[in-house]
Amino acid sequence: MKNVLFAAGEKRWALYFDPLTKALESEGVAAHLSQDIPPQSVDYIVYAPDSSLQDFRPYTRAKAVLNLWAGVEKIVGNETLSIPLARMVDPGLSKGMTEWVVGHVLRHHLGMDRHIVNPDNEWRPAVPPLAFERTVVIFGLGALGTACAMALVALGFNVVGWSRSPKSVEGVTCLHGEAGLSAALAQADIAVMLLPDTPATTNLMNAETLGQMPQGAYLINPGRGPLIDDDALLGALETGQIAHATLDVFRTEPLPRVHPFWDHPNVTVTPHIAADTRPATAAQMVARNIARSEAGLPLLNLVDRSLGY
């Protein structure tokens, strides 16, 4: 019997208890799942970074921390954590992100706001280009970025991907590193930000990089708030360098009511809804990783703490 501590809050406990119980049984793992297990008896920790558990030193027997979030920036730097950490790569989360990204890419590609928001009741015929005539650049080719890129390729867009290290995705022109960044920015008619939040990616979109994009480009950020320098983006919106920004994530959440993004006519704010972990599918991923660990197999989606993701 393996003791699995659920350290992700009371509200999530109500959502996850049944799916996790069933998933563990399905994987053949005999487990005691609870929110209250003595630290020295815990074998695995199912975790959310907003948990009250921040000191992992008492958990001397634990084999892994299994994160329920895709993002690990709020735990990866915890100096008390010395055991393996796995991030969540959830099929439900990937599908949700893909649908949100594709929806907003198509919205900007087709110029839908021109007709949906038309207070002057003006007849403005404008035929959009076809998908293959528009370049969408996905910044970040992890699981979510790759899923979005492949969906956009299937719709016929010219898709370019940029990542810090070399990647290969069928149908996508993959660029990497500093040289690749400049090349990616120069052709980003629509930029989609899906990079992790690390010191190397903070303010990646700043006055200089935004200025390298085509005049009148669109910026979509469902990734992490700190990827964008807010003041630089506001400046680029005022000059028309960026035509519109659709933002789902922010440095401070909820976004303060006084933030200029709320009232800017060329900014769309969505309340961090692009993708969410789905208990049913996330539970399956957690249970699969526990089963793999018990079988002596490596954890899936293991975090490289030196890189921060």
- Residues marked active site are found at 224, 272
Whole-number Å distance between alpha carbons of 82 and 65: 10
Give the CA distances from residue 281 to residues 4, 36, 285, 300, in Å, rounded to whole numbers and listed in that order. 18, 24, 7, 15
> DSSP assignment of 224-266, as one string?
-GGGB-HHHHHHHHHHTSEEEEEES--SSSSPPTT-TTTT-TT
Give the CA distances from residue 212 to residues 160, 163, 223, in Å, rounded to whole numbers and listed in that order. 16, 17, 20
Which residues, in sequence order, are CB contacts of 135 under 8 Å at separation 6+?
157, 158, 159, 160, 187, 188, 189, 190
Distance between start and end Cα atoms, the chain: 31
Which tokens belong to 110? 């087709």
- My answer on whether omega of the bond before 265 falls inside 30° of 0, hence cis, is no
Which residues, in sequence order, are CB contacts of 247 under 8 Å at separation 6+?
220, 221, 228, 261, 267, 268, 269, 270
What 3-state class would DSSP assign to 291? helix
Contact call for residues 101 and 148 (beta carbons, < 8 A)? yes
